[in-house]
Structure formats: structure tokens, C-alpha cells
């Protein structure tokens, strides 16, 4: 097997548990990256020639290597995939009684570049690296062996594929996948558009945070901003909310909100607002609307480190508008899926908004990603999700 040799001291992160190799850490004089084809498996060596394990390689990307094994005898093949998917499945079955969860979460499950979401007997797979694309057929076979699904959808249309030089496509790998699939979360039923929805069609990561939110919703007015297909708002409705307003830029997503409300036989008032979330919130403010619970769960405003400044500005503006819509003594749920926005920084943004608007805010709950999105202790990038719950009052002279 071919070898890549690291520069001096470049093995320190790997020895500490990380799994990524950056192109500037490779001794390209000794082992030129250009000799490899994206997706190749290689032995990784220290500067002194000591083997560290086996990685998949992509010579055309900043993260050029992803360690798949710390043994030179274990390759990324069907056998390895079966073994690691079984371990991943055991965690999910330990945590959840029903088969609705993220089955594989990339690096955290030892399968960098692979995500699998489970909707009962239907699996939706996302591959984001050349190494995983090379073993696509083995992934399908391994999932069939371990889970025995009725169908598998390859939802390979993410932005990471472009960085890796991979084509994008959405296709059935096995069986027949309907346009909409059923799922259950916190006792609530949903239909998710897995073919043309965002990511895999659903976001399991906020499961525990939505469960916490339900405890504040009985008899209350609720606003769900950036609602998508209603993950937060429909669960608020099922928890007894009398009035739920949904804001999203996608008419298609809002049509799914309506169907998911009907699916749960919601008899309260629902309002679907199609349009830009910032403009819609401003309109509600001008109409003097107020809500007992406001959920602000936007898309990632900070996709890359260079977006931090502009992204933090977007989080500041979005949360300020949301805070203005919270009724006296109400709850603001501020979420972020931006890995580059630290929890403390999001808290600073809420604090700053509180002072500017002369509100008295109390942090009452800190939420993170659900157990089916485990955090790898050596890879901070796997800990990305935040949900901060605040009770908001008038200034109280403080």
C-alpha cells in the first residue's frame, strides 16, 4: 500500500485522537500528494517512518486525509463498515425505543464522510468524501446486512461534495423510496420530504431541545422562525399551544407544515408566513404581535471560519428581532448549528440584545445535540449544535 509521510510534529493531533490530516502537514517532498487519486487508501507515517494507521486520501482538498484505522491491517471495506455500523446501531438502540434517528454520524462513529438517517425501514445516506464514495457499494451492502431496510436513498447533493470534486446526485440505491417518509419524535408524527427537502429531509439533532421546549407551550402562543417543515412548531402544537405561527422562505416547506399539523389533528390556530424571516419578524413587530414562546433556529449563518464576523451580525439581528416579539415573561429559544459560533459567543449576543432593548434575560437551559449525534472528544468540529433558552422580562430597573 502507498504511503504518505507527515512533517515533524504533524502527528501530534492524530496521536491525541483527531482523525484529519491537512495538506500542509504532509511531507510532499518525500511523498507527493499528486501521485494519489481521490479516494485512495494509504498508510500514514510519522516523519520518522513509524506507521500511524490507514487513511483515505484526497490530494485536492485542504483536509487531504481522514484516518480510518490506527492499524495498518484494517482497511475501509465492507467488513469494517459492517462492524462500525453495528456499534453505531447499538448506541441508537440503547438510547431510543423507536427506529427514528441518525444511525451514523461521520467521524463520531469512526466513519468520516458518512451520514445515515433512519426512518423506520427506510435509510437516507449522505456521502461527503471521496474515500466514502469509493466504497459506496460496500456501504449499501453493509447497511443491508446490519439494518435490513426496505429501501435506501442516496442523498448526495451536499456542498462538501463539490469541495471533494464529487458529482452531486439523488438516487435510490436499493428498493423504492417514497417522496415523503414518516417519522416520530417526542410522541409527534411527521412526514419528511427526503427527496427534495433540506439535507436528509429532517433534523434529528434538536430532538432533546424540542422536548424541553414542549414543557413551556401548553396554552401558549408560539412563533417558529425558520420553521422548515415544522419540527419545533408542530411539537409545540402537540404540547398544547393554542396558537402557532410558522415563518419560512419555502412555500413547499410550509405546505408540509400544514400537512404535519393535520397529521397530529391540531385544532388550534396556525398561521403560515411565507417570506424572508427578517422581514416577516419586522412585520409582526409593527403589528404589535407578541408570543409566549419564540423559537429562533436559523440555518448556519457561519459556514466557514472566514464568515464569522458577518455571521455573528446575522445572529445578532435575528435574535434581536426575535426578542422584541417575546411577550413579558416569555421564552426565547435561540439555536445555532454553526460550529464556528461558540456557545459563549451566542450567549454574548443575547446579552448584548438584552441591554440594547432594555430587557432582563435569564438563561434557564443550555441544550446541545441529541445522543444520536455523539461528540468525538478529540474532534471539536463534531460538537456544533446549541440551543439556549431564556426567560425574557422588561428591564426591571436592572
With pLDDT > 90 as the criterion, what percentage of the chain qualifies? 97
| β-bridge pairing 269-274 and 243-248 | parallel
Whole-number pLDDT of residue 50: 96
- Residues contacting residue 213 through CB under 8 Å, at least 6 positions apart: 232, 235, 236, 239, 293, 295, 331, 333, 389
Stretch 170-197: mean pLDDT: 97
User: In the numeric block, which cell numbers belong to residue 228?
Assistant: 422548515
Give me 348's grid cell. 454574548
Which pLDDT does position 394 carry in this prediction?
84
Burial 200-218 (b: 16+ CB within 10 A, else e): bbbbbbbbbbbbbbbebbe
pLDDT in tens, 285-317: 999 999 999 999 999 999 888 999 999 999 999
Which pLDDT score, from 0 to 100, does residue 395 have?
75
pLDDT score recorded for residue 253: 97
Sheet holding 114-119, edge to edge: 100-105, 114-119, 122-127, 151-156, 169-174
10 contacts 25 by C-beta, under 8 angstroms: yes
pLDDT on residue 304: 86
User: Distance from CA of residue 206 to its chain's centroid?
Assistant: 9
**86-92 contacts, C-beta under 8 A, 24 or more apart:** 86/146, 89/146, 89/147, 91/371, 91/372, 91/374, 92/118, 92/372
Cα–Cα distance, 63 to 193 (Å, whole number): 32
pTM for this prediction: 0.95
Radius of gyration of the chain (CA): 23
For residue 397, the model assigns a pLDDT of 63
| Domains along the sequence of the chain with CATH | 3-69 (2.30.130.10), 78-177 (3.30.750.80), 182-394 (3.40.50.150)
CA atoms within 13 A of residue 275's CA, in its CB half-sphere = 11
47-51, 136-140, 305-309 — which is least confidently predicted?
305-309
Q: Mind listing the pLDDT tens digit for each residue in 13-36? A: 999 999 999 999 999 999 999 999
**DSSP letter, residue 199:** T
Average pLDDT over residues 266-295: 97
* Per-residue model confidence as pLDDT tens digits over 346-362: 999 999 999 999 999 99
Quick one: pLDDT band at residue 163, thresholds 50, 70, 90?
Answer: very high
Helix residue ranges, H only, the chain? 12-15, 78-95, 130-134, 136-147, 159-163, 207-214, 231-238, 251-263, 277-286, 308-324, 343-357
What is the mean predicted confidence (pLDDT) over 114-126? 98
Describe the chain by its helix, strand, coil percentages, rounded to 5.
35, 30, 35
The x, y and z cell numbers of residue 373, run together, are 449525534
**By the 8 A CB rule, do 388 and 350 touch?**
yes
Q: From residue 50, how far is each of 4, 11, 43, 53, 71 by CA, in Å?
A: 11, 10, 10, 9, 12
**Residues 323 and 285 sit within 8 Å (Cβ to Cβ):** no
Residue 185 in 3-state DSSP? strand
> Looking at the predicted structure, is the pLDDT value of residue 280 above 70?
yes
Query: DSSP string spanning 208-225?
Result: HHHHHHHTT-TT-EEEEE
Measured between alpha carbons, how far is residue 127 from residues 102, 177, 262, 375, 392 in Å?
14, 18, 34, 19, 42
pLDDT value for 1: 83
Q: For the beta carbon of residue 17, count every other beta carbon within 10 angstroms.
A: 12
pLDDT digits (tens, 9 = 90+) for 317-338: 999 999 999 999 999 999 999 9
Interval 227-240: pLDDT, tens: 999 999 999 999 99
- Mean pLDDT taken over the chain: 96
Mean pLDDT of 61-88: 97
Name the 3-class secondary structure at 158. Answer: coil
Among the listed ranges 94-98, 174-178, 393-397, which one has the minimum average pLDDT value?
A: 393-397
Q: What is the mean pLDDT of residues 243-254?
A: 97
**pLDDT on residue 210:** 98
Using a pLDDT cut of 70, give the percent of the chain over it: 99
Q: List the grid coordinates of 137.
A: 457499494
Amino acid at each position: 500500500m502507498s504511503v504518505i509521510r507527515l512533517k515533524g510534529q504533524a502527528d501530534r493531533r492524530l496521536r491525541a485522537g483527531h482523525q484529519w490530516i491537512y495538506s500542509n502537514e504532509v511531507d510532499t517532498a518525500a511523498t507527493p500528494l499528486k501521485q494519489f487519486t481521490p479516494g485512495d487508501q494509504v498508510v500514514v507515517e510519522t516523519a520518522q517512518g513509524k506507521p500511524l494507521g490507514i487513511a483515505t486520501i484526497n490530494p485536492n482538498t485542504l483536509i487531504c486525509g481522514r484516518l480510518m484505522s490506527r492499524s495498518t491491517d484494517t482497511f475501509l471495506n465492507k467488513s469494517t463498515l459492517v462492524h462500525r455500523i453495528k456499534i453505531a446501531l447499538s448506541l441508537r438502540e440503547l438510547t431510543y425505543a423507536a427506529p427514528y434517528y441518525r444511525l451514523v454520524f461521520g467521524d463520531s462513529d469512526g466513519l468520516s464522510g458518512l451520514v445515515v438517517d433512519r426512518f423506520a425501514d427506510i435509510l437516507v445516506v449522505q456521502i461527503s468524501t471521496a474515500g466514502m464514495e469509493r466504497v459506496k457499494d460496500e456501504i449499501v451492502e453493509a447497511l443491508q446486512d446490519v439494518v435490513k431496510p426496505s429501501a435506501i436513498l442516496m442523498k448526495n447533493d451536499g456542498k462538501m461534495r463539490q469541495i471533494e470534486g464529487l458529482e452531486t446526485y439523488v438516487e435510490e440505491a436499493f428498493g423504492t423510496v417514497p417522496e415523503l417518509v414518516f417519522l416520530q419524535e417526542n410522541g409527534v408524527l411527521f412526514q419528511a420530504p427526503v427527496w427534495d427537502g433540506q439535507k436528509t429531509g429532517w433534523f434529528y439533532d434538536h430532538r432533546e431541545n424540542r422536548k424541553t421546549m414542549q414543557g413551556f407551550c401548553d396554552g401558549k402562543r408560539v412563533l417558529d422562525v425558520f420553521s422548515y417543515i415544522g419540527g419545533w412548531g408542530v411539537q409545540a402544537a402537540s404540547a398544547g399551544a393554542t396558537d402557532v405561527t410558522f415563518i419560512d422562505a419555502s412555500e413547499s416547506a410550509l405546505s408540509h407544515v400544514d400537512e404535519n399539523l393535520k397529521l397530529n389533528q391540531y385544532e388550534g390556530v396556525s398561521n403560515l408566513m411565507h417570506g424572508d424571516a427578517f422581514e416577516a419578524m419586522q412585520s409582526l413587530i409593527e403589528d404589535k404581535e407578541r408570543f409566549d414562546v419564540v423559537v429562533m433556529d436559523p440555518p448556519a449563518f457561519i459556514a466557514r471560519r472566514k464568515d464569522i464576523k458577518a455571521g455573528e451580525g446575522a445572529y445578532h439581528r435575528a435574535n434581536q428581532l426575535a426578542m422584541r416579539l417575546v411577550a413579558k415573561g416569555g421564552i426565547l429559544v435561540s439555536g445555532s448549528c454553526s460550529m464556528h459560533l461558540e456557545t459563549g459567543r451566542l450567549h454574548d449576543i443575547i446579552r448584548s440584545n438584552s441591554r440594547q432593548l432594555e430587557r432582563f434575560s435569564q438563561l434557564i437551559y443550555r441544550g446541545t445535540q441529541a445522543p444520536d449525534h455523539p461528540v468525538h472528544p478529540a474532534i471539536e468540529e463534531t460538537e456544533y449544535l446549541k440551543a439556549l433558552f431564556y426567560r425574557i422580562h422588561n428591564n426591571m430597573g436592572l
